Structure formats: structure tokens, C-alpha cells
Amino acid sequence: QIGTFKKGTDNASKGMNGLNKSMRGNFLVRLMELFMPLIEKVVDMAARSKTMQKVLQVAFSAIKKVITTVMKAVGPIMTAAGK
């Protein structure tokens, strides 16, 4: 049983190492790491300020429209590619 457990943990360790390597090289992860302090400040400000809440509401409304438009265009392409 110990051998089976060791084999399982070794496989899990290899998988985790691979995930860590891929995340280190991922541009979006690096970008998020850079913007995380700014994001934290914005969230903190939004929690305290009604004006900031309104600004974020307008900004996220615009972002939602863009994402919706993009997904309407990309969705059929992805569906066709999956067949």
C-alpha cells in the first residue's frame, strides 16, 4: 500500500510542478501580479465611496458589452471547432 501511495503522491507532485512552471511563464498571471496592488486599492475605495461605486458600475457595464459582443462572434467559431 505504501508503494501505491508513494506513486500517487509522486504523480501529484509532478502535476503540481508542471502547473507551477506553466503559471510562471503565463503572461496573464504576471500581469495580474503586477496589477494586484492596484486592484486591491480600487476594491477598497469602492467599498468606501459611493462615487467610486458608480464609476466602477459604468466601467464594468462597458466591459460587459465588449465581452458580450466578442463572445457572440467567437462562440459559433468555438462550437464549430469543437465538432
Contact 29, 23 (CB under 8 A): yes
Taking 90 as the threshold, does the pLDDT of residue 32 lie above it? no
Taking 70 as the threshold, does the pLDDT of residue 41 lie above it? yes
42-59: pLDDT as tens digits: 888 888 888 888 888 899
pLDDT of amino acid 76:
87
Output Rg (C-alpha) for the chain, integer angstroms.
21
- Compute the distance between CA of residue 81 and CA of residue 83 in angstroms, rounded to an integer: 6
Place of cell 506513486: 7
CA distances from 61 to 47, 49, 64 (A): 18, 18, 5
Query: What is the pLDDT of the chain when averaged over all its residues?
Result: 82
H/E segment holding residue 1:
none
Amino acid found at 77? I
